[in-house]
Structure 1
Amino acid sequence: MLKQFLDYSFKIKDLGQLHYFLGIEATRSPNGINLCQRKYTLDILKENGFLEAKPAKTPFTTGQRLNTTNGKPLANSEQYRRLVGKLLYLTNTRPDISYVVQQLSQFVDRPSDIHLMAAHRVLRFLKGSPGRGLFYAAKSPVRLQGFSDSDWGTWNSLISWKTKKQATVSRSSSEAEYRALATTTCEIQWLSYLLKDLQVHTNEPTNLYCDNKSAVAIGENHVFHERTKHIDIDCHVVRLKVQEGLIKLLAIPSSKQLADIFTKGLSKPLFDDCQLKLGMQDLHAPPYGGGVMKHSKVDHEA
């Protein structure tokens, strides 16, 4: 019915079920659909000579900080820029590398050998699971859930995620977390409009989880004057949307904060736990070394 309507309106050509589009591979099953970029990933590994490399357990070293003073500037930075550009496109189906790629992209103007080494670690991590991608279950409740986190001082189907620097300097961790909540709230508002356009209606507010209780308290009620007087007015969209019933703020322990994978380099146990809950799977993994990764949540802001 939808195809007929689109054909009537725009004169489209039906190419059948999606299998491969712009480097993204789609595999269907009765349980749902898997989206990955295995061939694209293998091409990146081949181009950079990492097809036979020893796999890394995580894409980023725990606690590592990259800056402009790290290492010696590369004599030829074109290779670095080309690699980071390809990794950015790969994050379409690999949210588990979003944080490190965001970090690497900050140094494309003047990369150093340390930055290149960090990029090569991402390649070694991808070597261990080139076919991993996002899984969207055929039967899952239509309900949005959000996770918001901010690295102060530095579900069933995942549909939206972002890792970025905040545009302004925050005076406290509460302000930094609250600004992240505001951005996530705007994303949830946009997603709710999109669902309505698709004739999908949800009657319950979207649960928005945050591991900073002060930020949750600010969003629910305008308190803590000393902590909020420097926060821009537009950030208080959080409190407005709480009052309107669009979102429901919920505190969550840091140990269960899924958005941590988008804000910092994690140890392998924490990384594996977060990655598991992103709803990713590797259809090409051997029976003893991978398989389906179930349960995910939707949306976040870092």
Structure 2
Amino acid sequence: MVAPTITHYNVISRVLRYIKSSLSQGLFYPSASTIHIKGFSDSDWATSPDTRSFVSGYCMFLDNALVSWKSKKQNTVSRSSSEAEYRALVIAYCEVQWLTYLLRDFKVLFKEATLLYCDNNSARYIAANHVFHERTKHMEIDCHVARESLISKLYHLLPITTTNQTDNK
């Protein structure tokens, strides 16, 4: 904005042409939706053949309308698939927390706690269990973040089932 160049102009022109050509495409947000956040988290453990880092991802819905999503290759290496899934769960919960705060700033009140789905039994157990074992001590900080919020009933942690997946298609 301070010192735009021809390159900046070319980029913004390209973005505007793309938007103009795709006006009929977009996300559907029904006007009669309820105010309820629902999220799904997942990870792909040791995906990278070079670094063995993992990919985490989440998608968040306001009722049945997709409002937030992210997939990212992580910089760290997890020692197990449970750890990768749990770290993905924590990242998803942080997004839930941000969305909750944003909606509260807009004076939107919730009647129910957020539903956060995770397909890994071990990750759900780590989140619900207040006892740290030798194999989970390295995840202690993340565990406190997710566990305290779970205990405070800011969200409910549920398994992913076939019916959950078909509801959002």
* TM value normalised by structure 1: 0.42
Give secondary structure in 2 for the equivalent of 1:228.
helix
Q: For the residues of structure 2 that align with 1:256 and 1:135, how far apart are their CA atoms?
A: 21
| One-letter identity of the residue aligned with 2:46 | G
Q: Does 1:194 align with 2:102?
A: yes
Q: For the residues of structure 2 that align with 1:240 and 1:172, how far apart are their CA atoms?
A: 23
Q: Does 1:149 align with 2:131?
A: no
Deviations 1:193-230 (A, max 9, x none): 11111111113211100000110011111346144122
Q: For the residues of structure 2 that align with 1:159 and 1:185, how far apart are their CA atoms?
A: 15
Runs of 4+ with deviation above 4 angstroms: 22-25, 255-258
Residue 152 of structure 1, CA deviation: 1.4
Q: For the residues of structure 2 that align with 1:208 and 1:200, how far apart are their CA atoms?
A: 19
Q: Does 1:211 align with 2:119?
A: yes
Give secondary structure in 2 for the equivalent of 1:168.
coil
Larger RCO: 1 or 2 (CA < 8 Å, sep 6+): 1
Q: Does 1:135 align with 2:28?
A: yes
Residue 248 of structure 1, CA deviation: 0.7
- Aligned residue pair count: 140
Does structure 1 conserve the Cα–Cα contact (< 8 Å) formed by 2:118 and 2:158?
yes
| One-letter identity of the residue aligned with 1:277 | N
Q: For the residues of structure 2 that align with 1:277 and 1:133, how far apart are their CA atoms?
A: 16
Q: For the residues of structure 2 that align with 1:145 and 1:217, how far apart are their CA atoms?
A: 20
Does structure 2 conserve the Cα–Cα contact (< 8 Å) formed by 1:134 and 1:158?
yes
Q: For the residues of structure 1 that align with 2:79 and 2:71, how far apart are their CA atoms?
A: 20
Give secondary structure in 1 for the equivalent of 2:139.
coil
Q: For the residues of structure 2 that align with 1:252 and 1:145, how far apart are their CA atoms?
A: 12
| One-letter identity of the residue aligned with 1:220 | A
Q: For the residues of structure 2 that align with 1:135 and 1:237, how far apart are their CA atoms?
A: 33
| One-letter identity of the residue aligned with 1:39 | S
1:180: which partner in 2?
88
Cα distance, 1:192–1:147 mapped onto 2, change above 3 Å: same
Gaps of 5+ in 2: 1-14, 48-62
* Structure having the higher Rg: 1
Cα distance, 1:174–1:244 mapped onto 2, change above 3 Å: same
Does structure 2 conserve the Cα–Cα contact (< 8 Å) formed by 1:242 and 1:249?
yes
Q: For the residues of structure 1 that align with 2:131 and 2:148, how far apart are their CA atoms?
A: 14
Does structure 1 conserve the Cα–Cα contact (< 8 Å) formed by 2:38 and 2:114?
yes
Gaps of 5+ in 1: 1-21, 26-36, 42-130, 259-272, 279-302
Does structure 2 conserve the Cα–Cα contact (< 8 Å) formed by 1:172 and 1:227?
no
Residue 232 of structure 1, CA deviation: 4.5
Aligned equivalent of 1:230, options 131, 138, 163: 138
Deviations 1:53-74 (A, max 9, x none): xxxxxxxxxxxxxxxxxxxxxx
Q: For the residues of structure 1 that align with 2:45 and 2:34, how far apart are their CA atoms?
A: 33
- Calculate percent identity across the aligned residue pairs: 54
Residue 168 of structure 1, CA deviation: 1.4
